[in-house]
Structure 1
Amino acid sequence: MMNDISSLFPAPRQWYASWIWLGESQPNIEKLFRSRFEVPKETVARLYVTADTRYRVYLDGERLGDGPPASFPHLTYYDCYSVTLTSGWHVLAASVHFIGQNSGSRGGFLAELIDEDGNVLTATNESWLACEGRAWEIASYNFSMNHFSPYQEIFDARRMPVAWNTLDGSEEGWRQAEVITGRNGNAVPQTGPWSCLVPRDIPFLREQHLVAEKIYATGEITDLAARKRPNDLSIPLSAALAPLKYATIQHAEGFCGDDGDILMQCSTQHFDHVFDGVYCPAVILDFGRIVTGRIALDVTGPAGAQLSFGYAERLIDGHFNIAIEGSFADSYILKDGGQTWQTRAWRAFRYLRIQLRECFEPLRIHRLEVIEEQYPFVEKGRFQSSDEELQKIWEISRATLQLCAKEGLYDTPWRETAQWLGDVAAVTVPGIHTCYADLQITGKFFRQSGLTSQPTGLLSNLSNVLRTERFLGSIPDYSLWWLMGLMEHYRFSGDARWLHEFYPEAVRIIRTHRNWMTEEGLLCNVPFWMFIDWAPVDRRGFSAAYNAIFAGALKTFCEWAEHVNDSYWLNIAQSMLHRLQEAFVPMFFNEEKGVLVDAVTGQGPSATVSEHTQAAALLWDLV
């Protein structure tokens, strides 16, 4: 039996590295790290790496990857890369972005490179060098509704150390990295706040390179100061376009192919000190569908020229406007000459607006592409119908699931990019089971969200980490959907270990709801926000829809308790379910209308009747 447990829950790996950082952990700050090391003979090595919040790691100047999957400090994922090394000297380097929206964490970087014989080639400690990532603007605009990458990236290539991630890079101005120690002075990887390190349990994202399908529009804008939100790139990127008259765009069709060589330049007439204003060229590209990816740019131009990128899922009345919905934008300020650049975070968009300012000499874009990132689903589910509209609904649904699956499962890849507990458990996971039968990403969701139990007895609304402390905003029905969803995941996968692992969380959810059950046998005046749906379902007093959802959760919990042989809580849950079933129809059925009312309050039955209440009662056999 002990051997079986060890195989299911293996001991954590032994680390030789320590967490490192440099200076303060301000929100939206970037740090650079590097280590030179010698390899005595050709070898295949493994790189173990993680960071708070995101890293981009390089070996000898070549990008290995980005990570880790978004995670809480108390459950931090790490990644593993296999690399082949020749004998001689090498450089391992990383840029680390600390987003800083979680009050319980701080910036940190952890990495070690182990050869095939088990020797440590390099590991983060005081021997590593570090410097501030001054190329990134700290005070960039924060679109606070987003939970994945809320800051606009403003990158000034003139401030980046030359060849910083290669052997040729100068180490002048670099400082000794600071080792982060725990309360007792220990420097092991389990140093707080990162108390538990776990290996990535999903595959790396799949990448493909895309160019725009067509040019939607070209034009120019007057270069004006946005005085109210001067650091928000979305304001000038949402300005209405006028026809090109003073600014220059040549060979714009190059954005849609491999030949590139697009020429752009701002107006220069103002140099006569008579002409009024500076005009900036802009192009809006249409990718034909919503994509999720990073911008990759190959450009030649003068130092100080600024290319800004705005991202929109849709146009508003035919116009590109991101200032009133999702202010997603990034900007690249050129150094002199030829250069390449990639944005640090993927964005979701169909329309990409490219705008140039502070450029009074020709700038040539040799290639602009999107590196699309997708979860590597395999299309196992099939649906075939003679009804064309129904077939299209299937295709749309499957494509939406693909867009919302990255290193987490998101309500949307665009505005919030949040792993909402109820949305994913009730809608996304069943869809993935149907379309893709993928158990890794769905299992990750249930495990990650199951470890967010809060003082309320409920689970956190979110489990992709940027905010962990907001338990007062709990949505109680989301915890019920998680409970039902995990059992459904077991039925689909046959993997029972998580039923045992998270049974205490299920008990807490039921116990918390028991506190709200009245002598009538129904839940009443449930605190917090009962979501149910965005529709105006009456939730006051005794809520019919919520009681029906709870009946479904009780049924599931009884099956769960029976599976783990817990007769104590099984008897309690069965009693609660029986009382609820007996009281439901007498409380909510309106004989005159022949329907269930949404709620009953101290003033009597609600005048509101909804589809939600009728459907929930039918689904869980209450009528």
Structure 2
Amino acid sequence: MSFTPRDVFPPGRWRGRWIWTGRTAIGAPTAESPLGALDPAAFDGRVLFRRAFTLKTVPSSAPFRVTSDSRHVLYVNGVEAARGPARHGPRSLTYDHGDAAPLLREGENVVAVLARFHGHRTPWWEPTAWTFTLGGGSLVAELRAGDAWIVTDGSWRCAVPAAWTPSAPRSLLVSQIPEVFDARLLDPSWNLPGFDDRDWEAATVLEARAVVGGEPDARPPSDPFGPLLPRPVPPLGAEPRAARTVETDPGTRAGLAARLGAPDVVVADFGQVVSGTLRVTVRGEPGAEVSGALLEVPAPAAFDAAGGFRYTCRGRDDVFEQSDPAGGRYAVLGVPPGARVERVEVVERLRPRPEGPFFVCDDPLLNEIHRVGLRTVDLTAHDAYLDCPTREQRAWTGDSVVHQSVDLVANPDWRLARHHPSLAAQPRPDGMLPMAAAGDFADPRLPAIPDWALHWIRSVHNLHRYTGDRALVAGLMPVAEGVLRWFTPFLGRDGLLHDVTGWVLIDWSPVQVRGASAALNALYARGLQDFAEMAEWLGDLGRARWARDVHEGVRRGFESFWDGRRYRDTLTTRAASEHTSAAAVCAGLVPAGRADAVRDLLLDRDAMFTRSPMGRRGTDHGGPLASDPVTLRAEPDWDVDRLVVGAQPFFRYVVHDALALLGAAGSVAWLCRDWEALLASGPTAFRECWEGGSYCHGWSATPSRDLLVHTLGVTPAEPGYARVRVAPRLGHLRWARGAVPSPHGLITVEADRERATVDSPVPVELHHPDGTTTRLPSGGTVRW
């Protein structure tokens, strides 16, 4: 039965109550900490919950919802029904929901939950602002089975399992939590009907209380979470992928064996990067210990960035699945004498990408690049857009603009594309966005990456153009304005930003940024331009005028960077980059008379060179912690008059946009062939940089957008695709075909050197290569 959460769970108080064990992670109030203090002794704590009930008949639908602080897996009669909650900020929480009817049966049933409180910051979780009883571990759930409601309250039974040994992150950079699990100490039938839970304790109801004011109540909504809202992104899939080869090789794996402290090493090769929860089936005597991790490469240094595990066998039914997600190509396992690894798989838990959109052309290399780009984004799209599933799993504020852009043209399910900018819209008190959202690097004590917040504004602009959702965009505009106004104290009398604090990254390439950074000023101007366009669309002419006035000041000051033939990266260097020139074009800073010179610079690939500290890093060499910090930026030691700093894969989305604005969209298809180098180093997912970095990085997937947006030329002509603009610019291709999603349905385009055919549910603007335009009511075939 199909229903929405509001059909069954209207706004207001829940029926379910917050529950936990008798001890949360919040200690007693003290004079120094009147709200109580989190107790590290209770961190990484797991709690088992059960509630049995009897049904005479199975209802046609049994809607449920559940959430927790920090993680939960909900089982109905032993079958997983929900896993969450979705990544969230420190003062928000969403619930998972679904229909349990297919899992129910006549007679005895049981709802069971494995709940966990992190305590430690992780890449996907940050502590909430606890208040006496909430913020140190809690669970709430409710299920309607016919006329009966099964809700969390004091009738539930709970137990703190001894099977897990609490663990902690090794450092700020290596912040995944290892899992130590002794299967001998957990009856695997704990979540099934008939299990004897009489030795378990009654769950403790947590009555939410505030410091001052408010009426205590154990039912949500409650501080510090506020109203609990439905999960804003689709449930993740659960597709098992078995390893292609599983080999024991102690002779050549001595370094791995030493690292794992085991005599034998098993290396399971999946043949591609995978992302999800690692599952291992083992045959061994009770007490035998198997340890390991999912890695990018089978090398000892790879463990420096992996969330590993140690599993103690029970001697029967030994199937272990890690709690936390991981990514990589190789599962490396240490195995004791007498034990045998029988099966290794990863349950891929990714957001869905339904079929429909596609791209294909007569260049097989571009077809493969497009396909691998989609796979790369899929692997880095969970409950947020992640940098990589392998090392970090952080939702970086700027990276996600590429993931989102790919999804908007290649995935008909836009829920994550719509939600991620809202997830990242959690500014510091000064208005700047943290470098990453909803995780350890959202800590306000860490510096921000100012330019990443400007890429975030571009992702809001994408929502404006593609969705046409005024309410969604309007809700994000105050945060965008706060970001832009954060920069204004750095504006000098010349209209330019000077000496901006924080980590001005731009790209891993050695773009010079000291003093007045031309690339940062251009990105700021693009943000102002995007903001003004959205404000005018919303009818907010005052804020639009303010943004355009500041933009004009940057435009005038930007002339200082022009040296007569190209834009310099700073006022004190002769070094130049394609970052600065491309961003200047996208920001409307380049006068018409210079367009040819800038276009020539961007197309002169012989003059482009890239250099990145990531080339000296990586689990394939010394490990991510073994080399120079990635923040180090090379001083010019190259021929600055002849060579131009080239963009890494991430910033190429700006470069390709600039070329399209300069009338060179036909060059984009050929430029996307540069990704052949990434296919050579990782044929199943794109690496982080042209050399080095993680083996799967969503920000490297821009060809999967650009071949549809610039080569096939399909973009919104009006917000929300009220009309579609189609401007094929095939370049070296003889033909190309594709389809992109819109709020009104798929838009399909076929183009060759002579004609274009458009099948569109909305009116079409077909832009010919000669500059003329044909307007079509809803598709058709037009000869050039």
Q: CA deviation at 1:237?
A: 4.6
The residue aligned with 2:114 is 95
Work out whether 1:112 is the aligned partner of 2:142.
yes
- Structure 1: distance between partners of 2:228 and 2:257: 41
TM-score, normalization: structure 2? 0.66
| Residue aligned with 1:374, SS | coil
Task: Report matched runs for 1:365-404 at 5 Å.
Answer: 365-404=341-380
2:72 maps to 55
Structure 1, unpaired ranges of 5+? 1-6, 225-233, 240-278
Distance 1:11 1:543 in 2: 51
Aligned to 1:335: 314
* 1:397-546 correspondence to structure 2 within 5 Å: 397-425=373-401, 427-450=402-425, 452-466=426-440, 468-470=442-444, 472-546=446-520
One-letter amino acid of the structure 2 residue matched with residue 177 of structure 1: A
Residue equivalent to 2:328: 349
- Residue type of the partner of 1:407? D
Matched, 1:201 2:218: no
Who is 1:41 aligned against? 57
- The equivalent position to 2:558 in structure 1, one of 584, 595, 598, is 584
1:177 aligns with 2:203: yes
Relative to structure 1, the CA distance from residue 123 to residue 467 in structure 2 (aligned partners, 3 Å threshold; closer, same or farther) is farther
Distance 1:169 1:526, change over 3 A: same
Q: What TM-score do the two structures reach when normalised by structure 1?
A: 0.82
CA drift of 1:420 comes to 0.7
Q: Is the 8 A contact 1:140 1:153 kept in 2?
A: no
Counterpart contact for 1:143–1:328, Cα < 8 Å: no
Structure 1 residues 613-622 or 554-563, which shifts more?
A: 613-622
Q: Which amino acid aligns with 1:322?
A: A
- Residue 11 of structure 1 and its aligned partner are, at CA, apart by 6.5
Determine which of 191, 206, 220 is the counterpart of 1:165.
191
Shift of residue 415, structure 1, vs aligned partner: 0.7
CA contact (8 A) 2:82 2:96 kept: no
Which of 577, 599, 604 matches 2:570?
Answer: 599
**Conserved 8 A contact 1:421-1:462:** yes
Taking only aligned residues, the RMSD between alpha carbons, in angstroms, comes to 2.6
Alignment deviations for residues 370-410 of structure 1 (CA, whole Å, 9 cap, x no partner): 32222210244433333333333222211111111112110
Deviations 1:400-430 (A, max 9, x none): 11111112110101111011110102x2111
Look up the SS of the partner of 1:383 in the other structure. strand
Contact 1:486–1:499 (Cα < 8 Å) also in 2: yes
One-letter amino acid of the structure 1 residue matched with residue 181 of structure 2 = F
| Cα distance in structure 1, aligned partners of 2:228 and 2:174 | 25
**Residue 566 to residue 341, structure 1, CA distance change in 2 (3 Å):** same
Cα pair 1:285 1:353 within 8 Å, conserved: yes
Letter in 2 for 1:588: F
**Alpha carbons of structure 1 residues 192 and 290: separation in structure 2 relative to 1, 3 Å:** same
- CA–CA distance in 1 between the matches of 2:300 and 2:514? 41
Distance in 2 between residues matched to 1:114 and 1:540, nearest whole Å: 61
Unaligned 5+ runs, structure 2? 1-5, 26-41, 129-134, 591-784
1:24 aligns with 2:24: yes
Amino acid at match of 2:546: I
Alpha-carbon distance in 2 for matches of 1:564, 1:440: 22
Inter-partner Cα distance in structure 2 for 1:445 and 1:235: 41
CA 330–236 in structure 1, closer or farther in 2 if over 3 Å, else same? farther
Could you say if the C-alpha distance between residues 285 and 214 of structure 1 is closer, same or farther in structure 2, counting changes exceeding 3 Å?
same
1:563 matched to 2:591? The reply is: no
* Pick aligned residue for 1:155 from 171, 181, 195: 181
Q: Summarize the Cα distance change of 1:393–1:143 in structure 2 as closer, same or farther, 3 Å threshold.
A: farther
2: CA distance between counterparts of 1:347 and 1:222?
22
Matching residue of 1:274 = none
CA distance in 2, matches of 1:200, 1:588: 47
Tell me the secondary structure at the aligned position of residue 555 of structure 2.
Answer: helix
Contact in 1 for aligned 2:90/2:438 (Cα 8 Å) = no
The offset of 1:27, in angstroms, is 2.3
Aligned to 2:579: 612
**Residue 349 of structure 1, CA deviation:** 1.5
1:291 and 2:274 equivalent? Answer: yes
Q: Which has the higher strand share?
A: 1
Deviations along 1:95-136, whole A, 9 cap, x unmatched?
A: 11222223434221111111244x31x211222222112211
SS class of match (1:309): strand
Change in Cα spacing, 1:222 to 1:541, as seen in structure 2 (3 Å) is closer
8 Å CA contact 2:82–2:97 kept in 1: the answer is no
Task: Tell whether the 8 Å contact from 1:180 to 1:191 is kept in structure 2 after alignment.
Answer: no
> 1:145: which partner in 2?
173
Mapped contact 2:268–2:344 kept (Cα < 8 A):
no
Distance 1:171 1:216, change over 3 A: closer
The DSSP-based 3-state class of the residue aligned with 1:92 is strand
Shift of 1:499: 1.4
Contact residue 544 and residue 598 of structure 1 kept, 8 A: yes
Structure 1 residues 174 and 236, CA gap change in structure 2 (3 angstroms):
farther
Which moved further from structure 2: 292-301 or 174-183? Answer: 292-301
Q: Which amino acid aligns with 2:482?
A: R
- Mapped to 2, the partners of 1:299 and 1:521 lie a distance apart of 65
2:508 & 2:283 partners in 1: Cα distance?
49
One-letter identity of the residue aligned with 1:595: R
Q: Cα 1:368–1:536, aligned 2, differ >3 Å: closer, same or farther?
A: closer
Taking a change above 3 Å as real, the CA distance of residues 472 and 210 of structure 1, as seen in their structure-2 partners, is closer
Q: Distance in 1 between matches of 2:589 and 2:434?
A: 29
AA matched with 1:424: S
Q: What amino acid does structure 2 have at the position aligned with 1:480?
A: L
Out of 26-35 and 167-176, give the one that drifted further: 167-176
Quick one: distance in 1 between partners of 2:326 and 2:461? 33
Distance (Å, rounded) in 1 between the aligned partners of 2:227 and 2:257: 42
Closer, same or farther in 2 for the Cα pair 1:388/1:60, shift >3 Å?
closer
Superposed CA deviations along residues 11-38 of structure 1, whole A, max 9, x for unmatched, are 6354111221221322221111111223
- Count residues in correspondence: 547
Is 1:573 the counterpart of 2:547 in the alignment?
yes
Q: Out of 124, 127, 131, which is 2:155 matched to?
A: 127
Please give the alpha-carbon distance, in whole angstroms, between the structure 2 residues aligned to 1:444 and 1:384. Answer: 29
Distance 2:556 2:158 in 1: 67
Do the aligned residues in 1 keep the contact of 2:13 with 2:219 (CA within 8 Å)?
A: no
- 1:136 equivalenced with 2:164 (yes/no): yes
Q: Give the SS at the match of 2:219.
A: coil
